Amino acid sequence: MGKSRWTRDQPSDHGHNRTGGKKSLTFRHRGIILACAVLCAGAFLILTVQAGTIAGDREIALHDEPPLKTPDLPGNRQHMISPVHPGAAGEPISRDLPAVSDAVFEGTDQNASVSIAWQRCLGGSDDDRVKSVLQTADGGYILAGETGSTDGDVSGYHGGTDVWVVKLNATGAIEWERCLGGSDQDAASSIQQTDDTGYIIAATTRSTDGDVIGHHGGTSPGGITERDGWVIKLNATGAIEWQRCLGGTGDDRAEYVQQTADGGYIIAGYAASSDGDLTGLSSDTCWVLKIDPERRIEWQKLFGAFMFNTCVQQTKDGGYVICGWTALGTHGMFDGYVLNLTAAGAARWQRDIGGIRRDYAHSIRKTGDGGYILAGSTTSEDLEGYHGDPELDSLPDGMAVKLSAVGAVDWLRCLGGSGDDGCSSVELTDEGGYILAGSTASDDGDVSGNHGGYDIWMVKMDAGGGIEWQRCLG
């Protein structure tokens, strides 16, 4: 995030108070007063920061001086800048100020512009989609999704749709790409880098040939091959080390995978089978399973009818937190949910999230305070700050929700405008805030700069849920 100068106002009759050897100054950015300072006889400055303008651990520094870290600022707080004490948490920060009247302060720009470093279109002449992307240990990127192309950037196509994996370097050039699958429909929804610098992929497959071994072979009443969950382990250059089909003869899916601290893998998905890997278990429910590094199932659990998992993360205590959506929630037509499990897969707690209409949870991450941040979408007009028209509940807002360690809602924020908006992914930022990605068809409310139709939408939030900046891309 960029820096911006907080420049002091030029002196004026009412901006200069010389009573008692003091002179008052104001510091402003983009026309907004951010701080007021009083210059006292004896060459020190007391800086009072306006409540809410600087978040905890936000930088404030004298120009051409080393950065100073502010203590947490629940309200107005004074910072004395004078010879020299380091400024413990909750106390004023002190600093030599040789030329007070010419001081310029620097702070984090809450409206910092975000520029595109590079962009790359990937694929061929057919339908190609990326569903998961992350930065790799070498500074590049790994992408996974699906492709129906046989040309362009795509090679090795098997038929139908293939899982497509692409490794980019730090500047967006393709290092390698792989088509994985068989002659039917195959698609990846999640990829993670593993400790050995390889990759683990969660996917679904209808194929019974090609790279796919062990499909359970069910067919629908219409004669279509049912899906299996498909987990694929690649080495660092994209070669298959192993693969496993998971499920039974019903329609089963692996939606998300993460490597666990013991070297195994936790997988979240959906199960409609009661045979195969699911023999003796109920079906049509959310499915969580733990496999060891040799792909053997250690345990699997099913939770609740008509619950659909979208994301899973291991917690600090070795347990797991899962998010998704359910048609049997406690608030409305569909609710987002968060499910917290022990290391052995036993449910500790579940929270339904949303309002009176349709709410979905798509992504969850652990936060530094032991809680969780959730990204999703909502059409519930009873949620505070909802931007849509209740008569058009097909037009959702994005939704960000901060939960405590036990699932209590710390805050919930509706994000968007009067169009169709949603958030599909969330990550923590270095300073304790959040970055959300999704899509928008709005150009009002929280959204500005839409290029027309649907844009990719990025939103940067502080730790308390305030929007620091947003950007439409497209």
Mean pLDDT of 143-156: 97
**For 410-443, how does the pLDDT look when each residue is reduced to its tens digit (9 = 90+)?**
999 999 999 999 999 999 998 899 999 999 999 9
Please write down the long-range contacts of 386-391, taking CB distance under 8 Å and 24 or more positions apart. Answer: 386/355, 386/414, 387/414, 387/416, 387/417, 387/418, 387/421, 387/442, 387/445, 387/446, 388/416, 388/418, 389/418
**For 281-329, how does the pLDDT look when each residue is reduced to its tens digit (9 = 90+)?**
776 688 999 999 999 999 999 987 677 878 999 999 999 999 999 887 7
pLDDT at 386: 87
pLDDT at 113: 57
Q: Report the distance separating Cα 301 and Cα 375, nearest Å.
A: 24
pLDDT at 393: 62
**What separation in angstroms does the CA of 162 have from each of 112, 193, 344, 345, 425?**
40, 20, 34, 32, 23
- Residue given tokens 């901006």 in the structure block: 15
pLDDT at 305: 65
- Residue given tokens 């919930």 in the structure block: 412
**Nearest 5°: CA angle at 267, between 288 and 200?**
170
Which of the two residues, 454 and 107, has the higher pLDDT score? Answer: 454
Tokens at residue 8, please?
């002091």
Inform me whether the pLDDT recorded for 93 exceeds 50.
no
Inform me whether the pLDDT recorded for 49 exceeds 90.
no
pLDDT at 36: 42
Q: Report the distance separating Cα 283 and Cα 178, nearest Å.
A: 33
Mean pLDDT of 236-244: 98
CA atoms within 13 A on the CB side of 316: 8
pLDDT at 219: 87
Q: Which segment of 6-10, 326-330, 459-463, 467-471 scores lowest on mean pLDDT?
A: 6-10
pLDDT at 291: 97
**For 168-184, how does the pLDDT look when each residue is reduced to its tens digit (9 = 90+)?**
999 999 999 999 999 99
Three-class SS of residue 365? strand
Strand partners, 271: 285
Inform me whether the pLDDT recorded for 349 exceeds 50.
yes
Could you give all domains of the chain from N- to C-terminal order, each with its CATH number?
A: 3-108 (no CATH), 185-202+217-473 (2.130.10.10)
pTM: 0.77
pLDDT at 221: 85
pLDDT at 249: 93
Inform me whether the pLDDT recorded for 135 exceeds 80.
yes
**For 443-455, how does the pLDDT look when each residue is reduced to its tens digit (9 = 90+)?**
999 999 999 999 9
Mean pLDDT of 273-282: 87
Mean pLDDT of 247-256: 94
Q: Are 269 and 287 a contacting pair, CB within 8 Å? A: yes
Compute the mean pLDDT over every residue in the chain, rounded to the nearest whole number.
79
**305 contact partners, CB below 8 Å, separation of at least 6:** 282, 284, 285, 328
For the chain, give the number of residues: 474
Q: Please, is 141 exposed, middle or buried when counting C-beta atoms within 10 Å of its C-beta (0-12, 13-18, 19+)?
A: middle
Inform me whether the pLDDT recorded for 86 exceeds 90.
no
pLDDT at 341: 96
